[in-house]
Amino acid sequence: MSEKFEDKLKKLETIVEKLENGDLDIEENLKLFQEGMKLGKDCRRMLDEIEQKVSRVLSADGDDVKTEPFDEPV
């Protein structure tokens, strides 16, 4: 069974906290960095798939769909 997005994101957040803490040796840092990069790519892929599904749902309505980048307010 595939891991949920929220689970992958939580693991990624944990890895970032460990790396920022700086208490690990270089080998462990590298291992966590590699795992974090894989999780980040997996999360990005999952988000891209969801975005495509949302676009299909919106376009199924029959109207022209306009896509705009989603930016959180600063």
Per-residue pLDDT reduced to its tens digit, 16-59? 999 999 899 999 999 999 999 999 999 999 999 888 888 777 77
* Dihedral angle of Cα 16, 19, 21, 24, to the nearest 10 degrees: 150
Q: Report the domain count for the chain.
A: 1
Q: Is 37 among the domain residues?
A: yes
Q: Is 11 among the domain residues?
A: no
What CA–CA distance (Å, rounded) separates 29 from 33? Answer: 6
pTM: 0.71
Q: Is 70 among the domain residues?
A: no
Q: Is 18 among the domain residues?
A: no
Q: Domain containing 35: what range?
A: 26-55
Residue that the structure tokens 């769909």 belong to: 65
Report the amino acid identity of residue 52: Q
